[in-house]
Amino acid sequence: MEELKTKVADLADHTGDVLDTYYRLAVIKFTKKSAKIATAAITLFVISAFVLCVILFIGVGLAIWLASYMNAALAYFIVAAFYIVLIACFWGFRKKLVFPMVRDFLVRKIDD
């Protein structure tokens, strides 16, 4: 009978160890996935900043180039109107294109 009590006590200790190991494994997996998502977000932010600078300089260059053919103010207004059209298109397609892309990106990062 004493041997059975010892085995039950050992089993309880091992069960506690297994549960502790599963808990630590879950924490490690969560930390790994969080780090991947944070790294992807930072990378996306930096790349977006560079793309914004490129778009800004392309817009200014285009406006200066158009100014050589017409009134300078009109050239800047044309470039601004072009950007407004792009913003309107982006806003119109955000539910069909942007949200699914962001959702799929996040799901892929979580599944890795």
Q: What is the pLDDT of residues 23-54, one digit of tens each?
A: 888 888 888 888 888 888 898 899 999 999 99
Nearest to 70 by CA among 60, 78, 81, 59: 78
Nearest to 79 by CA among 56, 64, 54, 59: 59
pLDDT, tens digit, 9 for 90 and up, residues 42-85: 988 999 999 999 999 999 999 999 999 999 899 999 999 999 99
pLDDT at 4 over 70: no
Give the domain range for residue 25.
2-111
- Domains: count for the chain: 1
pLDDT at 109 over 90: no
Q: CA torsion sign, 57 to 62 to 63 to 68? A: positive
